[in-house]
Amino acid sequence: MENMFWVGFVGCILAGIFAYTQKKKVMSYSEGTEKMQKIAASIRAGANAYLRQQYTTVAKVFVVVFIILLIMAFATGGQMLSKFTPFAFLTGGTWSMLAGFIGMKIATNANARTAQAASESLNKGLRVAFSSGSVMGFTVVGLGMLDVSIWFHLLRYGFGISDPNQLGNIMVMNGMGASFMALFARVGGGIYTKAADVGADLVGKVEAGIPEDDPRNPATIADNVGDNVGDVAGMGADLYESYVGSILATFALAAAAGYGFKGMVLPVLLAVCGIVCSIVGSFFVKTKEDATQKSLLTSLRTGTYLAAVLSAIAAAPLTYFTVGTLGVYIAILCGLVGGTAIGYFTEYYTSDTYKPTQKLAASSETGSATVIIGGLSLGMKSTMASILIVAAGVIISFYAAGGASDFNQGLYGIGIAAVGMLSTLGITLATDAYGPVADNAGGIAEMAGLPEEVRDRTDALDSLGNTTAATGKGFAIGSASLTALALLVSYVNIVDAKIGNMDLSLTNPTVLVGLFIGAMLTFVFSAFTMSAVQVAAESIVVEVRRQFKEIAGIMEGKADPDYASCVGLCTKGALHEMVAPALLAIIVPIATGLILGAEGVVGLLGGVSVTGFAMAVFMSNAGGAWDNAKKYIESGHHGGKGSPCHKAAVVGDTVGDPFKDTSGPSLNILIKLCSTVSIVFSGLVLTFNLMGLL
């Protein structure tokens, strides 16, 4: 089966066809009343305008990096860098961008349609929103397969590279473009969405006391645009990067493990099999017309679990006919189970049906400070489950795949576990991307003044989205940590091949200092992304306050607020603030390499993987719990909406916004970007570094 790489194209075509049918289905629904259409059009326009400007900004950075890579590759005759890398950098970036763009395009078309469908029945609302999520999910996996397959065939058959080791090492560098684009999309989109959200909440909800998504709030359109550019386009680019990254890292490890092309075809087959199983699972996502929220969740779960179980079954023959060891199969199962387990604990810590979030809500009784302390400590505590799961996954995958007798085969096990975890991404991402669409549908229902019962239905859909988003994040974070470890090992293999054995022991001060710098990068990067949100949000707060004060009749609904000014401010703020953290992620690994050499870089990668993982879990879960604690209070506990407890909980939710939607998810990308940047620039670092002079 080792020549069945063409199956990748089949997977890509299947994903494409399925995404297309889902798109057709979404578009077949009506966008509702004229008012709804108008609102949807404004959101679409705002989102498009932002993405256009974002891509323009990113394109400039990409051109600069492309030229640097070109010089490194061609001026040194391919010595310092493979000549393919600069071009792979561009394709990776473009595909990642496309994944986000298409997802957002369909989401902005689906939101009003979901609201309209929900006015007919809950089930219809679910179907539209889920179909829209499916378009994104299958676009991401389809494009991912396309990228991997094209480059593999081009290199192997076009350029005749038949050494699996060489091929793997070239391909692993292809991840950098996708990671870099994903970071911009996540950070930029994350800043946008949270600046708008925080700004709208602080003045609207807290100061003026008007409900969320109230049309009188000038930041409300920007808030809805933000859901699309951040939670949809950002997430699409992010998971595209995770998906491709895990496959490419496993490619590189396959050669080192001595599995050759057999070890490379396995992740491709697994991924294609996951696409098929996801499509099958999708057909099971439906519910009765008189669905309750619980039956909705059951229906979504049925789809994802079915896909996972089918994948698990199908993985057995695939493994048997390729690398042929039971241990690798166990590693794949570890990935599938681990992702689900992290998802479960994420939900446990962030859903208001469990104790932790309920206790957090109760801490609002003593004011906003205790809500903040409670949320921070909840988030920190929640790292335990995720880390122990990943730790167990790493150890079991490694030893099951043969780590005790062959170290490199064990490491391959870790890589393939990450691929296993992401194999059903088509459907898990669909359930994840469904959330922001439902959220927006609610916003449109509110703004368009649809009846209470419609809003109730979209609320039910939205609340479900929070749960599924938690599960989606579990997969994203878990796979990121495994992929990061796989990439770290790839880096070491590549450098080892060039300069011989390094001292990577933890007693080596250079490695230790690298670890410190990795931890530092995590904290500083989080600081940058958070303060970016703050800076952008403050400008929105000032603007909303100004409009409330200066536009006569705005509070009585007699005069329209100036939505466009908030949209413009968010765009400006996000673009301005996203560049620094993104550059940090590129500059720190290179600078560390130039000063401390490769040993320091390995330390850095270890430090950023470990601290970044813990921090990502902490921030995502704290943010999620704050959000749901607030919703729990809004649903009538501790005094309900407008009570002092609610005000305290809103402060928590506001702090949680950048946590869960900007800084937290960006960290997943950061840890992989650091690895791919280090791999791509390893030639440079080995040629020039300060430690080499000692």
Nearer to a second copy, 112 or 530 (CB): 530
Residue indicated by tokens 């130039």: 594
Among 305, 320, 354, 399, binds a second copy (CB under 8 A): 399
- Best CA proximity match to 355, nearest among 628, 564, 540, 161: 628
**582-621 binders of a second copy (CB under 8 A):** 596, 602-603, 605-607, 609-611, 613-614, 618
Residues 625 and 379: their CA atoms lie apart, in Å, by 8
* 516 scored as a contact of a second copy (CB under 8 A): yes
Nearer to a second copy, 43 or 511 (CB): 511
Q: With contacts defined by CB under 8 A, how many residues of the chain interact with a second copy? A: 86
Nearer to a second copy, 307 or 521 (CB): 521
Residues 6+ away with beta carbon under 8 Å from 574: 50, 54, 188, 189, 191, 192, 195, 532, 536
Residues 359 and 369: their CA atoms lie apart, in Å, by 14
* 552 scored as a contact of a second copy (CB under 8 A): no
Residues 611 and 650: their CA atoms lie apart, in Å, by 28
Among 77, 506, 549, 550, binds a second copy (CB under 8 A): 506
Q: Is the dihedral of CA 149, 154, 157, 160 positive or negative?
A: negative
Nearer to a second copy, 552 or 694 (CB): 694
Output phi, psi for 533, to 5 deg: -60, -40
Residue 591 CB coordination number (10 Å): 14
Output phi, psi for 80, to 5 deg: -85, -25
Residue 52 CB coordination number (10 Å): 12
* 326 scored as a contact of a second copy (CB under 8 A): no
Task: Work out how close the CB of 595 gets to a second copy at its nearest, in angstroms, rounded to a whole number.
Answer: 9
Residues 626 and 624: their CA atoms lie apart, in Å, by 5
Nearer to a second copy, 326 or 404 (CB): 404
Residues 6+ away with beta carbon under 8 Å from 478: 338, 339, 342, 386, 389, 390, 393, 421
Radius of gyration of the chain from its Cα atoms, rounded to whole angstroms: 24
Nearer to a second copy, 177 or 375 (CB): 375
* 381 scored as a contact of a second copy (CB under 8 A): yes
* 523 scored as a contact of a second copy (CB under 8 A): yes
Tokens representing 650 are 């809103």
- Best CA proximity match to 236, nearest among 175, 271, 185: 185
Among 524, 564, 590, 684, binds a second copy (CB under 8 A): 524
Among 169, 351, 654, 678, binds a second copy (CB under 8 A): 654
* 388 scored as a contact of a second copy (CB under 8 A): yes
Q: Which stretch, 181-189, 298-306, 377-385, 680-688, contacts a second copy (CB under 8 A)? A: 377-385
* 409 scored as a contact of a second copy (CB under 8 A): no
Task: Work out how close the CB of 397 gets to a second copy at its nearest, in angstroms, rounded to a whole number.
Answer: 8
Check if the beta carbon of residue 213 is closer than 8 Å to that of residue 115.
Answer: no
Tokens representing 120 are 């007919």
Task: Work out how close the CB of 651 gets to a second copy at its nearest, in angstroms, rounded to a whole number.
Answer: 5
Residues 487 and 210: their CA atoms lie apart, in Å, by 49
Check if the beta carbon of residue 88 is closer than 8 Å to that of residue 248.
Answer: no
* 327 scored as a contact of a second copy (CB under 8 A): no
Residues 334 and 413: their CA atoms lie apart, in Å, by 10
**143-202 binders of a second copy (CB under 8 A):** 198, 202
Task: Work out how close the CB of 198 gets to a second copy at its nearest, in angstroms, rounded to a whole number.
Answer: 7
Contact pattern from residue 43 through residue 62 relative to a second copy, giving x for each residue in contact according to CB under 8 A and a dash for the rest: --------------------
* 383 scored as a contact of a second copy (CB under 8 A): yes
Nearer to a second copy, 25 or 545 (CB): 545
* 403 scored as a contact of a second copy (CB under 8 A): yes
Among 374, 426, 561, 664, binds a second copy (CB under 8 A): 374
First to last CA, the chain: 50
Task: Work out how close the CB of 501 gets to a second copy at its nearest, in angstroms, rounded to a whole number.
Answer: 10
**81-100 binders of a second copy (CB under 8 A):** none
Residues 114 and 112: their CA atoms lie apart, in Å, by 5
DSSP 211: P
Task: Work out how close the CB of 427 gets to a second copy at its nearest, in angstroms, rounded to a whole number.
Answer: 28
**452-491 binders of a second copy (CB under 8 A):** 481, 485, 488-489
Tokens representing 15 are 């994903």
* 512 scored as a contact of a second copy (CB under 8 A): yes
| Cα dihedral: 499, 501, 503, 506 (round 10) | 120
* 527 scored as a contact of a second copy (CB under 8 A): yes
Residues 592 and 601: their CA atoms lie apart, in Å, by 6
Residues 424 and 281: their CA atoms lie apart, in Å, by 10
Q: Which stretch, 22-30, 75-83, 367-375, 440-448, contacts a second copy (CB under 8 A)? A: 367-375
Nearer to a second copy, 295 or 534 (CB): 534
Check if the beta carbon of residue 301 is closer than 8 Å to that of residue 359.
Answer: no
Residues 6+ away with beta carbon under 8 Å from 347: 354, 467, 470, 471
Output phi, psi for 79, to 5 deg: -70, -45
Q: Which stretch, 135-143, 425-433, 445-453, 511-519, contacts a second copy (CB under 8 A)? A: 511-519
Q: Which stretch, 84-92, 292-300, 306-314, 648-656, contacts a second copy (CB under 8 A)? A: 648-656
Among 318, 530, 585, 686, binds a second copy (CB under 8 A): 530
Task: Work out how close the CB of 452 gets to a second copy at its nearest, in angstroms, rounded to a whole number.
Answer: 29
Residues 321 and 269: their CA atoms lie apart, in Å, by 11
Q: Which stretch, 183-191, 312-320, 387-395, 436-444, contacts a second copy (CB under 8 A)? A: 387-395
* 384 scored as a contact of a second copy (CB under 8 A): yes
Nearer to a second copy, 285 or 617 (CB): 617
* 569 scored as a contact of a second copy (CB under 8 A): no
Task: Work out how close the CB of 343 gets to a second copy at its nearest, in angstroms, rounded to a whole number.
Answer: 18
Nearer to a second copy, 257 or 279 (CB): 257
Residue 163 CB coordination number (10 Å): 11
Q: Which stretch, 124-132, 299-307, 380-388, 631-639, contacts a second copy (CB under 8 A)? A: 380-388
Task: Work out how close the CB of 658 gets to a second copy at its nearest, in angstroms, rounded to a whole number.
Answer: 6
Among 266, 272, 411, 578, binds a second copy (CB under 8 A): 411
DSSP 257: T
Among 108, 109, 169, 368, binds a second copy (CB under 8 A): 368
**201-220 binders of a second copy (CB under 8 A):** 202, 206-207
Residue indicated by tokens 């909800």: 205
E-strand spans in 507-664?
none
Q: Which stretch, 130-138, 208-216, 418-426, 503-511, contacts a second copy (CB under 8 A)? A: 503-511
Among 122, 255, 419, 533, binds a second copy (CB under 8 A): 533
* 391 scored as a contact of a second copy (CB under 8 A): yes
Nearer to a second copy, 513 or 677 (CB): 513
Tokens representing 436 are 């922001």
- Best CA proximity match to 36, nearest among 139, 93, 119: 119
Nearer to a second copy, 21 or 370 (CB): 370
Residues 37 and 44: their CA atoms lie apart, in Å, by 10
